[in-house]
């Protein structure tokens, strides 16, 4: 935020006041504003409550009427859960009253998220309803096994490996100041001094003395007029506390992407240890002395020498950190990746309905009542369900560990994600089909899913077929090429007729 810019809270408050809401009718619950007393009481003094995510994720959170969400929340499940605050039922015993009240049933969401960011995979991210239907696998079905994919969320935003960071830090700092292993007997200190590091360990704190304050509401204005400043040498205890604080604050202040560490709480201590070990090798055993040297320099702000040196150590460590994370991710994904097979039974919530079919692998087929793309998928179901001369069974996938997933790079979100192809089909000739139906925009841009599916089919071998499926000119076609392209009304040679599959 630039200097002089209004905060979101100020903008919101100004807007409410323009609409006639008085200041004393606006409750606040965030940052330095504790939960207002009596806010649970319907007869309390507040007409409007402003609250943030921190107050919006617990069991005691308020019911929201207006939600404003900015795209800066890292955990996508959290923002989807936050949408539920509009529909939250704070008084279950009065649910009928809520149902009949238009004001309480209406909510407003203002956000810079794309619509699909909130709606895609909604069920997987918010599923907490009980199963009311169960469908069992048909008897006599020849099952299959497929190695599914798993994405490890192993990056905790910290420095990962304290020992490797320490070694990298020492190497970077020595390189920055031109220090080598032969710099003994004060040579290293001279090199620090040459870089304009002040080696005088004297640090003082300024305190106000002889000041009396009668009006504590005006204490900020009276500081400049009352008492006088006295400089006192900083105590050893204060020195260590300040050093700890600076280790935390310096990580927090990093703005360059290659130097940013997001989990500062887990990282400031390893940073402190690395600084201590480096100083010990350069300035000796007296930690109080080199703490003071460090603090004194950092307090120079933009003129500090250690600040850019520290930033450089973090940037130099980034390739090592990325390699460590990649190794951890690979190891964890190999360990945790499940084997997909048709389960003995599947449960479904009240959001599903029965659709009579013949060739589904389950005794009863349930499909979601409402979702984008349903008309296209039910058309495809009608088509494949009539192919009893070619198909043994078909299975409609959902999302979750029970289903078959492919890891792919999502070109829209610029990150690796899991892709759950819509259909697993067992053909009578022994082949297994893995298909994903598309239409409209999703057919034009699969956001990386099409090449990932093509690559997976190639990896699985000749016993597998599949690809992106769509209906063009009244005929179902599929495309299993890594060079996927779809131009409506102009299919290229990579599009094949589904009807030709045997």
Distance, in Å, from the CA atom of 181 to the CA atom of 186, rounded to the nearest integer, reads: 12
Q: What is the pLDDT of residue 73?
A: 46
Residue whose entry in the numeric block shows the structure tokens 């792919």: 408
Q: What is the pLDDT of residue 213?
A: 44
105-110, Cβ contacts within 8 angstroms, sequence gap of 24 or more? 106/65, 107/64, 107/65, 107/66, 107/67, 108/65, 108/66, 108/67, 109/66, 109/67, 109/69, 109/83, 110/66, 110/67, 110/68, 110/69
Query: Is the model's pTM score more than 0.75?
Result: no
8-12, Cβ contacts within 8 angstroms, sequence gap of 24 or more? 8/68, 9/50, 12/50, 12/68
Cα–Cα–Cα angle for 187, 189, 195, nearest 5°? Answer: 110
Q: What is the pLDDT of residue 127?
A: 54
- The full set of domains in the chain, from first to last, is 8-125 (3.40.50), 136-150+339-500 (no CATH), 177-202+236-333 (no CATH)
- 19 class by beta-carbon count within 10 Å (0-12 exposed, 13-18 middle, 19+ buried): exposed
Q: What is the pLDDT of residue 110?
A: 74
Residue whose entry in the numeric block shows the structure tokens 């699969």: 446
Q: What is the pLDDT of residue 430?
A: 94
- 446 class by beta-carbon count within 10 Å (0-12 exposed, 13-18 middle, 19+ buried): buried
Q: Are strands 146-147 and 339-340 parallel, antiparallel or unpaired?
A: antiparallel
What dihedral angle (degrees, nearest 10) is formed by the CA atoms of 470, 475, 479, 484?
Answer: -60
pLDDT tens for the chain, 502 residues long, are 455 567 788 888 899 999 999 998 898 887 777 778 777 776 778 888 888 755 555 545 566 677 776 655 444 555 555 665 565 655 655 666 666 676 666 777 777 666 655 555 555 555 567 889 999 999 999 999 999 999 887 777 889 889 999 999 999 999 999 998 887 667 888 899 999 998 888 887 654 444 454 444 444 444 455 444 555 677 888 888 889 999 999 999 999 999 999 888 889 999 999 999 999 999 988 999 999 999 999 999 999 999 999 999 999 999 999 999 989 888 888 888 899 999 999 999 999 999 999 999 999 999 999 998 999 999 999 999 999 999 999 999 999 989 999 999 999 888 889 999 999 999 999 999 999 999 988 888 899 999 999 999 999 999 999 999 999 999 999 999 999 999 999 999 999 999 999 7
């Amino acid at each position: 935020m630039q200097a002089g810019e209004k905060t979101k809270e100020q903008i919101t408050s100004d807007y409410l006041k323009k609409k006639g809401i008085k200041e004393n009718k606006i409750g606040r619950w965030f940052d330095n504003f504790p939960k207002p007393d009596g806010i649970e009481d319907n007869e309390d003094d507040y007409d409007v409550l402003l609250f943030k995510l921190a107050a919006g994720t617990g069991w005691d959170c308020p019911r929201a009427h207006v939600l404003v969400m900015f795209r800066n929340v890292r955990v996508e499940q959290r923002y989807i859960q936050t949408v539920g605050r509009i529909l939250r039922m704070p008084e279950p015993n009065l649910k009928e009253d809520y149902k009949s009240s238009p004001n309480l049933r209406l909510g407003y969401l203002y956000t810079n998220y794309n619509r699909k960011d909130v709606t895609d995979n909604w069920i997987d991210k918010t599923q907490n309803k009980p199963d009311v239907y169960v469908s069992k696998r048909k008897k006599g079905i020849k099952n299959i096994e497929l190695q599914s994919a798993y994405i490890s969320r192993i990056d905790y935003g910290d420095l990962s490996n304290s020992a490797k960071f320490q070694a990298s830090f020492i190497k970077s700092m020595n390189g920055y100041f031109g220090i080598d292993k032969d710099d003994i007997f004060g040579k290293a200190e001279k090199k620090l001094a040459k870089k304009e590091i002040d080696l005088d360990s004297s640090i003082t704190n300024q305190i106000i003395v002889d000041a009396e304050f009668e009006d504590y509401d005006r204490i900020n204005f009276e500081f400049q007029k009352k008492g006088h400043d006295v400089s006192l040498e900083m105590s050893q205890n204060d020195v260590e506390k300040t050093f700890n604080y600076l280790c935390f604050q310096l990580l927090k202040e990093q703005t360059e992407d290659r130097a940013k560490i997001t989990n500062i709480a887990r990282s400031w201590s390893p940073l402190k240890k690395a600084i201590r070990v480096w100083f010990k090798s350069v300035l000796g055993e007296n930690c109080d002395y080199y703490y003071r040297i460090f603090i004194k320099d950092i307090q120079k702000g933009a003129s500090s020498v250690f600040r850019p040196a520290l930033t450089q150590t973090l940037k130099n460590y980034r390739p090592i950190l990325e390699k460590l994370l990649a190794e951890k991710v690979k190891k964890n994904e190999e360990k945790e990746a499940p084997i997909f097979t048709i389960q003995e039974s599947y449960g479904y919530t009240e959001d599903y309905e029965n659709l009579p079919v013949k060739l589904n692998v389950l005794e009863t087929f349930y499909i979601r009542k409402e979702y984008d793309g349903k008309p296209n998928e039910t058309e495809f179901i009608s088509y494949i369900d009539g192919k009893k001369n070619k198909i043994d069974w078909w299975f409609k996938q959902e999302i979750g560990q029970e289903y078959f997933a492919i890891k792919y790079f999502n070109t829209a979100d610029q990150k690796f994600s899991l892709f759950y192809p819509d259909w697993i089909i067992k053909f009578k000739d022994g082949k297994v089909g893995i298909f994903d139906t598309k239409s409209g925009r999703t057919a034009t841009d699969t956001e990386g899913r099409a090449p990932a599916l093509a690559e997976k089919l190639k990896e699985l071998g000749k016993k597998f077929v599949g690809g992106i499926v769509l209906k063009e000119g009244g005929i179902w076609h599929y495309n299993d090429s890594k060079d996927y392209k779809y131009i409506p009304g102009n299919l290229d040679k990579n599009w094949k007729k589904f009807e030709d599959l045997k």
